[in-house]
A and B are shown apart, each in its own frame.
Chain A
Amino acid sequence: MDRFRFPAYIQLGNNRYRERYGLDFEDFKVGQIFRHRPGVTISQQDNVEECINTFNQAMIHFDAHYAEQTEFKRPLVDTTLIIQRLMGLTWKTYYRRKRIVEWSCIDMLAPVFGGDTLYVETEVLFVGANLKDSESGLIEVSLRSFNQNQKKTCEMRCSMLIYKRDHLPFSAKNY
């Protein structure tokens, strides 16, 4: 049975709604699983541009003729691009994030190629203490990505600080 949770709007008036995303720190519970949508299809052009933006010189990502001679037969999508997109795709639930503290592990389980589509799921592993004098709290999540064939391509653990209820700046103004 589906049950709708967490309003995406604050109702400001009879017919006026303001978008409002993200869980407050207090809303996170160990064991919650979030399936993030939409997913994203990564292209080989994205891969090349990531290498340009980060000064990546590993030709496995952008020399297709070279890549053809490897066991993969085509360019591999760069790890930093995968991490960027996977973290970004979780924004709707983790909108109230203050910052990422660390990734305790990142495992690349299967190769990703241009044309593959990635979907992300996160699971809350740890929720830190709600300290009175702090505007945010620490959570740790497991992030898993699956491609269009439901194959798990990446798994990581990420710790981040999330603002507490009414502690997100602008929250007084219904931001």
Chain B
Amino acid sequence: MANASTAHHDDHHDHHPTGLARWLFSTNHKELGTLYLIFSLAMFLVGGAMALVIRAELFAPGLQLVNPEFFNQMTTMHALVMIFGAVMPAFVGLANWMVPLMIGAPDMALPRMNNWSFWILPFAFTLLLSTLFMPSGGPSAGWTLYPPLSLQGGNSLAFVILAIHLMGISSIMGAINIIATILNMRAPGMTLLRMPLFVWTWLITAFLLIAVMPVLAGAVTMLLTDRFFGTSFFNAAGGGDPVLYQHIFWFFGHPEVYILILPAFGIVSEIIPTFARKPLFGYTAMVYATASIAFLSFIVWAHHMFTVGMPLGAMLFFMYATMVIAVPTGVKIFNWIATMWRGSMTFETPMLFALGFVVMFTIGGLSGLMLAIVPTNFQYHDTYFVVAHFHYVLVSGAVYAIMAGVYYWLPKWTGHMYDEKLGKIHFWWSTIWVNVLFFPQHYLGLAGMPRRIPDYAVQFAEFNMISSIGGFMYGFGQLLFVYIIWKCVRGGEKATAQVWDGARGLEWTVPSPAPLHTFDTPPLVDDKVAVHADRLT
């Protein structure tokens, strides 16, 4: 920064760098948001390709395409790439783009750190994916890296752990930035209870991220020292316990699954009121429900590990605490439905994805309740029922909400309307095949098919074949999504500032496409522009 003293916000519009430098050195929340979203889309396709390797191998019983070691690497890497590379960066990208626009801020609170949190990610994933090309292959003990299995693999473990450290650093910095932005950068009059729900859910998500990513860092550090420095954290011979890893990991892991879903709740809570042309029903209840879910997420972790042999009292506590989460989640689903009640509904693509989210996330939530019951969990644990459950909440849940958000805000980002007809085809194609893909996995799991195996008994053949067909159709259908985005970026019907006639909030008061710098002068927020105006007195 040779000319740091002149690089002032007001006079740098003219000499903005171009080409690669523009993206490498950017401090702009919109450019960095775009980078996050593009990176996430690329990782979605990489992780999806891994999923197709898995589904191709499982198309029929027996070992056909890949050897079991590689199959295990695919299941491990698919999860790591999708969670840390696709879903989390997509939400951070949406937050980068939309939070400053929604609260009337000129940019993120810490713009340089924003650049840093993004650019760590491509390097971290290079490190992670490079392990696939190492002599010992990538990690193959599952994304949870349970010891002792994960400690018995090849020399890729160190690379995986250090890549996870980098991702964690990126996530923590991104979360700190989002919290600082929301708490510190709101326009005058944008009180906490006037904030759009997407902002609220991200505020709480950011808190979860800062609280648990360091715990993951601690857990994998202990793995590293157990493997390379002779410590005994997870070694019973030295007085440690492999189950200890699972406790620490899931203390991170359970809040993590809410990190993957709370921003999705926020997106859906923005979209449904717009297309129902009614304000969100129970705004305050939504805020409190989100906070309750976040609190509960810290005291339910052991439901991921009921079968390890815990004291009975612990199992009962974690079972009941888990079931309590259904209450605030039920509040949310009720409120979304109540928002639509007697609304003037239209069904543009964002609304379709949001509705798909509500229906299919509920299916995933209910199978989660089944899993919460200890005696039945003993039966379902590590079967395809679990796989079906978390793919319903993650694919037809989190990913659907991200796609809904992308369709919803794409006109604001590009200045063009996307192709509505193709968008609807994308929705219906995805929704049909995602159910063909994952619904049969419930039956497979209930019938006893274990997860993470490349081969299976012949009685599971039909449902696996159906699931694989669904997987390939759903997977290749996502290329249509890429095409729709590309087409929308290239051109299309001009979007107005308002875009959707039922939309409310500050982001719709700036032109489409949103100029590089918005709200240099903060807008004054009163009841008229607040999203939830009519709720306020």
Chains A and B belong together in one complex: no
**Could you tell me which B residues sit within 8 Å of A by CB distance?**
none
A interface, CB within 8 angstroms of B: none
